């Protein structure tokens, strides 16, 4: 599976490891992803999402229904 957040769309970015001698080698910066189950009371179902830590904070603040509604508006294929 790809390392992409289902809510925010965060994905791996590329960059450089820089040594003390200023040698540069390619590396990747991965988002902080968690696989979580959420209960959606409107649909009376559990859904499993791969979400970043910032998406978890957004879900805690706004609620799962509002976040899923906004993701659907933004073009996500979650539901």
Match 């879900």 to its residue by tokens: 59
Q: What DSSP letter does each residue of 38-50 carry, written as one string?
A: EEETTTTEEEEEE
pLDDT in tens, 2-32: 899 999 999 999 999 999 999 999 999 999 9
What average pLDDT does the segment 50-57 reach?
96
**pLDDT more than 90, % of the chain:** 82
Number of CB atoms found within 10 A of residue 33's CB? 19
Domain spanning 13-73: CATH 2.30.170.40? yes
- How many CA atoms, within 13 angstroms, populate the side-chain half-sphere of residue 44? 0
């Amino acid at each position: 599976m790809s390392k992409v957040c289902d809510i925010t769309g965060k994905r791996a970015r590329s960059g450089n490891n820089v040594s003390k001698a200023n040698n540069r080698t390619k590396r990747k910066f991965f988002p902080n992803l968690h696989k979580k189950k959420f209960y959606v009371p409107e649909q009376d179902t559990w859904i499993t999402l791969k979400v970043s830590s910032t998406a978890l904070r957004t879900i805690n603040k706004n609620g799962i229904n509002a976040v899923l509604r906004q993701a659907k508006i933004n073009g996500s294929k979650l539901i």
